[in-house]
Amino acid sequence: MRLLQSLRRRLRSFLEKDSSNVQLSQELQFHLERETQENRACGMSPEEARSAARASFGNVPKAVEECYEARGVALLDNLAQDLRHGLRTMLKYRSFTVVTVFTLALGIGACTAIFSLVNAVLIRALPYGEPDRLVYLFTPNPLWNLPPEVFGPSNADFFDLKKQSKSFLAMTLFTQTTYNLAANDRAARVSAAKVDADFFGTLGVAPELGRGFDANDEQPGDEQVAVISHALWQTMLGGGASVLGSTLRLDGRPYRVVGVMSAEFGYPHKSDLAYGNGHVETTDLWVPWALTPQQRAEREASSGYAVARLKPGVTVRHTQAEMATIMSHLNLLHNPDMRGWGALVKPFQDSALGPVRPLMWLLMGTVGFVLLIACGNAANLLLARAAALSHELGVRATLGARRSRLLRQMLTESLMLSAAAGTVGVGLAWLFVHALLKLNPGDIPRMDDARIDLRVMGFVVFVIVLTSVLFGMLPSLSATRINLAEFLKSSGMRGVSGDRRLVRHGLAVAQIALLVVLLTSTGLLLRSYANLLSVPTGFSSTTVTASVQMSSQYGDAHKRRATFGSLIERLKSVPGVQAVGVVNELPLSDEESLAVLFVEGYPNTERQLVEERGITQGYLSAMQTPLLQGRDFSDEDVSGHRLVAVVNEAFAKKYFANEDAIGRRIRAGHDESDPWVTVVGVAKDVRYMSLEAAAVPQVYRLFWQVEWNESNIVGAYVAVRSTLPQDAVVAEIRSAVKGIDPSLAVADVHAMSDLVSLATARRRFQTTLLTIFSSVAMLLAMIGVYGLLAYSVRQRMGEIGIRMALGSSKFAVVQLVLREGLTLLGVGLLIGMAAALGSTRLLAGFLYGVPAFDPATFAVIPMLLLVSTIAACLIPSLRAAAVDPIKALRHE
Amino acid sequence: MTKSTELLQGTVDLLILKVLSLEPMHGWAIAQRIHQLSKDVLRVNQSALYPALHRLEHQAWIEAEWGDSENNRRAKYYSLTKAGRARLKAEEQSWDRLSAAVQVVLKAV
């Protein structure tokens, strides 16, 4: 309030400055007169009285100045002056202003766009209460050579942990599943989580409508209630309040809707659980996980994930120690063959955001470089302009302007420039963000929420101030360092700009060095991406696939499997369809199944895990996966119940050491009771988990012979190869499924090329962004080099004139300019290469099939820069060559 | 001319406020009154007086009004505001404390 009043008074005296000036002089005038009068009364002559009054008053102008400052007008006045002056100069040097503002706007826009992404992904709090106190609990077992995040606690372990641990405020156990939801005459697959009563409470969330679950809902038999997501409510269920209490049919069973979650809640997402259900992107439905007493006592098998909320003040490390102690006791209750269960407490945010953090830093670093290069450009432009202003500044310094005053004026100007650039930059950032979202690779959590909000605006203001200091400080310091004696000696015609050349060249070298680092990184990423695209996938990209899943509500396992048989028959009969097959887990669909396998004649180890797929006899043909040896599965294998298998190249290499694989035998364990399965063919390797991971040994079994647990969901993908267009195939699949059972949903419909595209999306995203930003940086740096040389030619006009007058050829003049440009490049390259060699190691995690010191990249970048630098030198050097010596000498 | 003691800036403010607490007066009269009241010991540097007055006005402890002076000229009369009165009281107290403390030190040693 005080501040406001003070500002108001300042402003008033500032606006009424003229009248208050008059008043001040009247006031002082009165004082002097009154003093004179008094002196005269003491008997002085009028002359004496006046001069005595003046003498006793002291320095009048100083008093005026101080009164002025006491009213706080001076500061505002100076600011207004600086702003006016800045505006005038900006308008006067219009092309300078446009280039500077545009350059900086590009840098600020890029930074702002990436920051709004980082803000959405990393900074904005996760939509759970106090997410930093949430942890995942895993019980890894080193006996299985698998990542620790695969091991959620078994039900019995979870309940014992809950009983014995003192670190947790709340704990929840949940599992993932999918349902066929039939509503309004159509069936859709929904991603669901089966959760306990503490699920929502542990996460610190509450439904926006209705209620969550309580202990009663967990009782087997009472579990047919559901909480739905905001999105499901709006899109499939009409979005009305009447949804509460309404009934959903999930896999044919009725569930009563009791709650609706808020729009931002969709836990667990795909990015939350590294080894979660590959079908689930975002969860749309929550139902109680009603465990029977037998299920609660299950200690060996595990299908759940545990999340816990730490008590206030309890650290992860302490919890880890406590959980390890408890697990060491619980271990004794496990099957003696399997003992080795440990403990892992993993912070929730690390799981959700850890994998994308390096990418975010890479992007921030990249745009930071772009901004620095833009600042370098602006600084160089400002330095060139300062040289033009040196006369004005020299005169002002001679007339008594203080350096701080000149400095403040120049900084005000750079602040104005970057504020203008910031305004344009926010506009650019808005465009960038929209373009960014189009590139969304789909695996960056909450990326869709990226927008320019208050925090981003705050960041913009910070960047504006930072850039104005970065690019304004150096030129201002250099321009206001005025040697008055020198200035006067040069008869006021030219400023002293000798030392500025070094500064300007230093800036250009720094820009080139930054650019080299940026280009090298981009080159490495581009090479990685190219490598990825050339990976042989092992399947046809035009094959269309779709997923169908059935739970026990659709009959026993045999009946559900038979449903796929009739689906294949229906699709085969469609004209134009060439091959139809079914597979339980499709390549690149984030699913895998591992089976313990024992190979005849191989030194097998305990718990030897091999990827196993169940396929039908038409599948390899539908996917166009070639057979390298032997034969595919045949109808006779099915009808004759022959136990046969096809293995992939990697399997044959590892277990049969490249000897003839056909006729070799494998089985599911050492047990004599496990039947032998005969290998009949070797198929080409297929990239399953990702394109980047090398193919691992795999076994294909007949889909019809794979064991299915009665209560498990029977789910599989149908794959169709045909001469029909993709849309027609999709329509045929949908109508075939509907013809079998209208309540069955068809989900995950893709051509295989879509899955390849998804699998390469992250790399495409980062490579595209880095390429764009590096191009921008390159453009800026080359504009910088061009501007520097053009200015230098202008400055050296006289020298060039003399050289030509003394007989120098035009070619030699061109050489002169080129030499200046290439020297800059040479030094910049040296520094940049050294920095790149030091920093590309940090990129190792982003590379695929390229060493961090890739010779090709390190050779191409200098060539590229050489060509572009020569291009940037071209116009200034031609201009120098065209100099008319007579005119140039006159100019001097 | 009598030998006068130079005043610290803070004390000028205090004296101005004190003098103005008697009645509104213009700048010259303030200087005169301080001089008289101090029995010709204190002389306010006149080039410091006006900046001080303007600063006090800016801080809203005193306010100014143009009026006719004793010699029938227009003069700027300053008077104490409510905030100024409170300020004076606080300043007086802190001055008392300060001078008492200085006295104690001087006597003690």
Q: Chain A closest CA to B96's CA: distance in Å?
A: 27
Q: Is residue B1 part of a domain?
A: no
Query: Which A residues 60-119 touch B at CB under 8 Å?
Result: 60, 62-63, 66-67, 69-72
Distance CA A466, CA A418 (A): 9
The CA-atom distances, in angstroms, between A241 and each of A244, A248, A257, A262 are 6, 15, 11, 14
Name every chain B residue with its beta carbon within 8 A of the beta carbon of A6. 58
Q: Which of A66, A75, A76 to mutate to test the interface with B (most CBs of B within 10 A)?
A: A66
Q: Which of A31, A40, A60, A65 to mutate to test the interface with B (most CBs of B within 10 A)?
A: A31
Distance CA A146, CA A609 (A): 10
Asked if B76 and A71 come within 8 Å (Cβ–Cβ), the reply is: no
Distance CA A812, CA A792 (A): 16
Q: Chain A closest CA to B56's CA: distance in Å?
A: 9
Kindly identify which residue of chain B lies nearest to residue A53, measuring between CA atoms: B46
Name every chain A residue with its beta carbon within 8 A of the beta carbon of B54. 24, 67, 70-71
Phi, psi of A42 (to 5 degrees): -80, 0
Kindly identify which residue of chain B lies nearest to residue A61, measuring between CA atoms: B47
For residue A568, how far is the Cα from the chain centroid? Answer: 42
If residue A533 lies in a helix (H) or strand (E), which one and from where to where?
A: helix A498-533
Which value, in Å, is the radius of gyration of the alpha carbons in chain A?
38
Q: Chain B closest CA to A399's CA: distance in Å?
A: 25
pLDDT at A18: 63
Asked if A66 and B58 come within 8 Å (Cβ–Cβ), the reply is: no
Name every chain B residue with its beta carbon within 8 A of the beta carbon of A30. 26-28, 69, 73-76
Q: Using a CB–CB cutoff of 8 Å, tell me whether B39 touches chain A.
A: no
Q: Which of B44, B46, B59, B63 to mutate to test the interface with A (most CBs of A within 10 A)?
A: B46
Token code pair at residue B109? 């040693």
Q: Using a CB–CB cutoff of 8 Å, tell me whether B71 touches chain A.
A: yes
Distance CA A48, CA A37 (A): 11
Asked if B75 and A23 come within 8 Å (Cβ–Cβ), the reply is: no
Low pLDDT (below 70) residues in chain A: 1-20, 72-75, 184, 489-500, 658, 670, 708-712, 891-892
Q: Chain A closest CA to B92's CA: distance in Å?
A: 23
pLDDT at B1: 37
Residues 6+ apart with CB under 8 A from A131: A125, A204, A348, A349
Q: Is residue B40 part of a domain?
A: yes
Asked if B47 and A72 come within 8 Å (Cβ–Cβ), the reply is: no
The pTM of the full predicted model, rounded to 2 decimals, is: 0.76
**Secondary structure, 3-state, A569-620:** HHHHCCCCEEEEEEECCCCCCCCCCEEECEECCCCCCCCCEEEEEEECCCHH
Q: Is residue B60 part of a domain?
A: yes
Name every chain B residue with its beta carbon within 8 A of the beta carbon of A10. 58
Asked if A9 and B58 come within 8 Å (Cβ–Cβ), the reply is: yes
Kindly identify which residue of chain B lies nearest to residue A3, measuring between CA atoms: B59
Name every chain A residue with its beta carbon within 8 A of the beta carbon of B53. 67
Residues A205, A344: contact at Cβ < 8 Å?
no
Q: Is residue B2 part of a domain?
A: no
Q: Using a CB–CB cutoff of 8 Å, tell me whether B3 touches chain A.
A: no
Asked if A28 and B28 come within 8 Å (Cβ–Cβ), the reply is: no
Q: Using a CB–CB cutoff of 8 Å, tell me whether A5 touches chain B.
A: yes
Q: Using a CB–CB cutoff of 8 Å, tell me whether B36 touches chain A.
A: no
Q: Is residue B3 part of a domain?
A: no
Q: Using a CB–CB cutoff of 8 Å, tell me whether A30 touches chain B.
A: yes
Asked if A30 and B76 come within 8 Å (Cβ–Cβ), the reply is: yes
Asked if A23 and B76 come within 8 Å (Cβ–Cβ), the reply is: yes
Q: Which of A856, A582, A563 is nearest to A718 (CA)?
A: A582
Residues 6+ apart with CB under 8 A from A644: A633, A637, A677, A678, A679, A680, A702
Low pLDDT (below 70) residues in chain B: 1-10, 109
Query: How many domains does chain B fold into?
Result: 1
Q: Using a CB–CB cutoff of 8 Å, tell me whether A33 touches chain B.
A: yes
**Which of A30, A37, A67 is the closest to B75 by Cβ?**
A30
Q: Which of A685, A474, A708 is nearest to A587 (CA)?
A: A685
pLDDT at A390: 75
**Where does residue A75 fall: left (phi above 0), alpha (psi -120 to 50 degrees), or beta otherwise?**
alpha
pLDDT at A75: 67
Distance CA A219, CA A245 (A): 19
Asked if A34 and B50 come within 8 Å (Cβ–Cβ), the reply is: no
For residue A659, how far is the Cα from the chain centroid? Answer: 47
Q: Which of A19, A34, A56, A62 to mutate to test the interface with B (most CBs of B within 10 A)?
A: A34
Angle, CA A125 vertex, CA A231 and CA A768 arms, to 5°: 80
Strand pairing report for A225-228 and A285-288: antiparallel
Residues A123, A455: contact at Cβ < 8 Å?
yes
Token code pair at residue A366? 């990249």
Asked if B71 and A34 come within 8 Å (Cβ–Cβ), the reply is: yes
Q: Chain B closest CA to A15's CA: distance in Å?
A: 15
pLDDT at A34: 85
Q: Chain A closest CA to B13's CA: distance in Å?
A: 13
Residues A691, A535: contact at Cβ < 8 Å?
yes
Asked if A9 and B60 come within 8 Å (Cβ–Cβ), the reply is: yes
Q: What was the ipTM of the complex prediction?
A: 0.85
Q: Chain B closest CA to A313's CA: distance in Å?
A: 47
Residues A31, A64: contact at Cβ < 8 Å?
no
pLDDT at A546: 92
Kindly identify which residue of chain A lies nearest to residue B50, measuring between CA atoms: A67
Q: Is residue B20 part of a domain?
A: yes
Q: Is residue B69 part of a domain?
A: yes
If residue A347 lies in a helix (H) or strand (E), which one and from where to where?
A: strand A344-347
Name every chain A residue with its beta carbon within 8 A of the beta carbon of B69. 30, 34
Residues A544, A749: contact at Cβ < 8 Å?
yes
Asked if B73 and A28 come within 8 Å (Cβ–Cβ), the reply is: no
Q: Chain B closest CA to A501's CA: distance in Å?
A: 47
Residues 6+ apart with CB under 8 A from A757: none
Specify the CATH number for the domain of residue B53. 1.10.10.10
Distance CA A733, CA A739 (A): 10
Token code pair at residue A798? 């006289």
Q: Chain B closest CA to A8's CA: distance in Å?
A: 10
Domain range for residue B54?
9-108
Kindly identify which residue of chain B lies nearest to residue A63, measuring between CA atoms: B47
The CA-atom distances, in angstroms, between A83 and each of A76, A415, A448 are 10, 10, 40
Q: Using a CB–CB cutoff of 8 Å, tell me whether B46 touches chain A.
A: yes
Residues A655, A599: contact at Cβ < 8 Å?
yes
pLDDT at B6: 55
Evaluated on CA atoms A63, A67, A70, A74, the torsion sign reads negative
Q: Using a CB–CB cutoff of 8 Å, tell me whether A315 touches chain B.
A: no
Q: At which residue do the structure tokens 């009248």 appear? A: A19
Residues A291, A197: contact at Cβ < 8 Å?
no
Q: Is residue B32 part of a domain?
A: yes
For residue B97, how far is the Cα from the chain centroid? Answer: 19
Distance CA A123, CA A128 (A): 14
Asked if A35 and B28 come within 8 Å (Cβ–Cβ), the reply is: yes
